[in-house]
Structure 1
Amino acid sequence: MRKLAILAILLAATAVLAGARLPVHGPLPQQRPDIEGTSAPTPDSNAEGTQPPPAAEMPTPEPKPDIQKPETPKTEPAKPMQGPPLPPGKENPQAPTEENKPPAAQTLEEQHLTIEPESDAEHTECTAALQALGVVFKDAPRIDDGNGCGIDRPIIVSEVPPGIKLKPEATIRCPAALALARWMKDSVIPAASAALPEQGRITTVNQATSYMCRLRNGAGTGKISEHARGNAIDIASFHFEKGEDVAVRSRREDPTLTGAFQRTVSAAACLYFTTVLDPESDVAHETHFHLDVIERKGGYRYCH
């Protein structure tokens, strides 16, 4: 009896289980919100397990309009601000002009120089000092060669001091002639008597250049030469009564009395001139003394 009852219970349970139906679709996994690039759930499935609607009932997605990225506008370089028109003759103050060039790059014509004026009182005082030293000279007409080249009150010197000829005659300003005369009287003549007595006295001073319209060292550009203003003279040699001329040349290592004479008069020249260039200065002066009386701030002198 007991076995029949157990069997009946098993049969009833089987019938119940056979009549039960499982859902058509089980639950589907949901999309993780933190993963980019995954697709959204498809319309044929949902969390409730219902059948998807017929195709005719599904809304047709509208095509998305083409989305174009806006073009980046091209930027043009900023143009300088334009101000009001400038007066005639000043259209472009920034453009390079002759006046904007540095002095070393300017020609004589570009420098627009003028002749240095000389007062009557100063000229009279200077020429009186020359006469007291016995210098032989004469006045000459004003020289104006343009571009600042010239001498307001030139003189032509033929002897400095008396009995010592200047060959050829030198056209210079009076202050340069006065410095030359004082240097000769106080330094050159005594040095020659001490170093070279056997050669007798100096009879001639040979000069290479006095007044000449040019730039320094004959260059094409740069500052105007003091020769062009009548402030300079170049001394090439000294002629004595006896013996050979003493030519001005490099004598730094010359151990003779001739070498001592030249070095002495070269050093002494700076007592009278504001610029002294000798053969030891540079190649441009290896055959003469350059002597000038240019005025510098503070009374500065250049002696080399």
Structure 2
Amino acid sequence: MRLKTMLAFACLGILTGTSLPETGPLPETKPDTEDTQPTPSETPVPQEKPAEKPAGEKPAAPADAEQAPDETAPAEEKTGEMQGPPKPPLTIASEPEDEHQECEKELQAMGAVFKDVPRIDDGNGCGIDKPISLTEALPGIKLKPEGTIRCQTALALAHWMKQSVIPSGEVALKDAGPIVTINQASTYICRLRNNATTGKISEHARGNAVDVASFTFQDGTVVAVQPRKEDSTLTGAFQRAVSAAGCLYFTTVLDPESDANHEHHFHLDVIERHGGFRYCH
């Protein structure tokens, strides 16, 4: 027991005589380099990954890529839009002499009354290379007033009258007698379409068009071209029939159902389109 007590005191003395160092080893200072990491407050915030575009969608063009103008934006918002080179002045289409002579022979054979008039050149594309002045589209059917047009326009008018308008009139207004007059509102005139101040040149300015305002029958009955979509009479049927048949002979037919500009006449023209396309409304 005494031996155990002496050993305990000895251990205690050893423990009390030992102490920790006042300071521990200091960490080494890192050298000052460009690779020094930023402090937490300086750490850049990671940017979000751009959303993936659906399959098939074209990637956005680079900022410096040439962009097409926004066709949906108002004209006043399209700034800096490059303009193309100025268009050359419009010229009068030439008519081959052999084709013109062939047309006049066919027109004469149908009994039309007309005469050749000097070439018309009013500038800006207005004019007719080989114009004619048409007095009667068919024997006994006058064009009032007489109109200056191309032979091809007169020929289309004669065929339309002979094969469609006259037969339709005989059925719809048989008591009025035959048609004796085509009352026209316009043949050749130098202007833009629909008398606008800007836009494309009218086919009237090329001699390709005639506007028909009404038909006069032998007994004095006048059938005016007017809105007749809901007209259930024979007169209404007559107008709708001759309007529909017009596209067999003309490449453009606009009637009172087309728009406000044609409420009181047929616009008939022979403009040439690719593939024989025709516009009839």
Secondary structure of the residue aligned to 2:100 is: helix
Partner of 1:33: 27
Partner of 2:163: 186
Task: Please say if 1:96 is aligned against 2:83.
Answer: yes
Instruction: Confirm or deny: 8 A CA contact 1:142 1:154 kept in the other structure.
Output: yes
Output the CA distance in 2 between the equivalents of 1:248 and 1:35. 103
Read off the aligned partner of 2:277 and give its amino acid letter: Y
Secondary structure of the residue aligned to 1:160 is: strand
Secondary structure of the residue aligned to 1:137 is: strand
Find the partner of 1:223 among 200, 219, 235.
200
Q: How many residues were matched structurally?
A: 218
Instruction: Confirm or deny: 8 A CA contact 1:111 1:147 kept in the other structure.
Output: no
Superposed counterparts of 1:1-304, under 5 Å: 28-30=22-24, 33=27, 95-97=82-84, 99=86, 112-304=89-281
Output the CA distance in 1 between the equivalents of 2:135 and 2:29. 110
Instruction: Flag the 1:33–1:135 CA change in 2: closer, same or farther, 3 A.
Output: same
Give the root-mean-square deviation of aligned CA atoms. Answer: 2.7
Instruction: Confirm or deny: 8 A CA contact 1:136 1:159 kept in the other structure.
Output: yes
Gaps of 5+ in 1: 1-25, 37-78, 80-93, 100-109
Output the CA distance in 2 between the equivalents of 1:35 and 1:245. 112
Task: Give, in angstroms, the shift of residue 95 of structure 1.
Answer: 4.7
Output the CA distance in 2 between the equivalents of 1:195 and 1:287. 20
Output the CA distance in 1 between the equivalents of 2:29 and 2:146. 107
Structure with larger Rg: 1
Read off the aligned partner of 1:297 and give its amino acid letter: H
Q: Structure 1 segments of 4 or more deviating over 4 A?
A: none
Counting aligned pairs with the same residue, the percent is 65
Map Cα deviations across residues 189-229 of structure 1 (whole Å, 9 max, x no partner): 11111110111111111101111112211222222211111
Read off the aligned partner of 1:302 and give its amino acid letter: Y
Output the CA distance in 2 between the equivalents of 1:96 and 1:273. 36
Give the TM-score normalised by structure 1: 0.66
Instruction: Flag the 1:281–1:148 CA change in 2: closer, same or farther, 3 A.
Output: same
Secondary structure of the residue aligned to 2:268 is: strand
Output the CA distance in 1 between the equivalents of 2:161 and 2:247. 12
Instruction: Flag the 1:233–1:111 CA change in 2: closer, same or farther, 3 A.
Output: farther
Map Cα deviations across residues 46-65 of structure 1 (whole Å, 9 max, x no partner): xxxxxxxxxxxxxxxxxxxx
Instruction: Flag the 1:174–1:35 CA change in 2: closer, same or farther, 3 A.
Output: same
Output the CA distance in 1 between the equivalents of 2:146 and 2:28. 108
Give the TM-score normalised by structure 2: 0.71
